[in-house]
Amino acid sequence: MAAPRTIIYIDGFNLYYGALKGTPHKWLNLQKYFQMLRPADDIRSIKYFTAMVSGPTRKNQEAYLKALGTLPLVEVVLGKFKSKRYQCRLTLCTHSGDRFFDGVEEKRTDVNIAVSMVDDAYQNACDQLILVSGDSDLVPGIAMIRTRFPNKKILVYVPHIPAPTSTRGFAVELRNAAHVNRDLPLNFLKHAQFPVQIPDSVGNAIHKPATW
């Protein structure tokens, strides 16, 4: 039996905040990780969806995206951040009138993931689609694929570090939408790290961020 043609779709911020933040495993080689996790699959592509941050951590992110760019199976798909006004709804705020705070909101990532999944199914680019996320906004896209392409198998891996007060790992609606759902295995992370220094395509060195 032929290995299933597989495409992997990663919600970058969901992966970071769910499984990598606060760990020494941020310098993650996604291709190596998923080849270890899915050795029986014919992995055709690994699509990493994110948006460029601002502030002092941007250089770390830029280094990581350059490192991912050295991997033949990995494709980076960028969304963006949009300025947004947030209203404080705490009692202490509303007693003295409405108060608003400036912030940013990530845009397009869930739409980019859903569109890419539906398009790959339509193009018959894969036999199974693996989604790494806990975002329920992706449920309609999964439902569409299951309706239109019933022979395609959808697996969801929810990234989360178990904690007594965390609800991130529940993701009940998203889990129920897929054929198969699992927690993203954390034990492979330490075995799938990039070297501290990586050569790029023109001979320059990409360095692991010092704070990672």
pLDDT 10s digits, 178-202:
999 999 999 999 999 999 999 988 8
What is the pLDDT confidence band of residue 91, given thresholds at 50, 70 and 90?
low
Q: Which residues pair with 75 in a beta bridge?
A: 47
Among the residue ranges 81-85, 124-128, 155-159, 173-177, the one predicted with the least confidence is: 81-85
CA–CA distances in Å: residue 211 to residues 13, 15, 207: 18, 18, 11
pLDDT tens digits, 127-146: 999 999 999 999 999 999 99
Residue 99 CB partners (closer than 8 Å, separation 6+):
87, 88, 93
pTM (two decimals): 0.86
Q: What does pLDDT average to over the chain? A: 89
Instruction: Please answer whether residues 170 and 159 qualify as being in contact, where contact means their C-beta atoms are separated by less than 8 angstroms.
Output: no
Q: Give CATH superfamily name and number for 5-80+108-207.
A: 5'-nuclease (3.40.50.1010)
Give residue 50's identity as a one-letter amino acid code.
T
Angle of CA points 177, 1, 155, to nearest 5°? 15
pLDDT band at 88 (very low <50, low <70, confident <90, very high): low
Dist. CA 181–CA 169, nearest whole Å: 11
- Residue among 154, 158, 151, 155 at smallest CA distance from 183: 158
Task: Output the pLDDT for position 84.
Answer: 41
| pLDDT > 80? residue 85 | no
pLDDT in tens, 36-77: 999 999 999 999 999 999 899 999 999 999 999 999 999 999
- Name the percent of the chain lying above pLDDT 70: 83
Q: For helices 109-122 and 139-148, what crossing angle results, to 10°?
A: 10
For residues 92-101, average pLDDT: 54
Q: How many CB atoms lie within 10 A of CB 9?
A: 24
Place of tokens 């299933």: 4
pLDDT beyond 50 at 83: no
Contact 4, 41 (CB under 8 A): yes
| CA–CA gap between residue 169 and residue 163 (Å, rounded) | 9
The angle at the Cα of 62, spanning 58 to 67, to the nearest 5 degrees, equals 150
Q: Which one is predicted more confidently, 64 or 103? A: 64
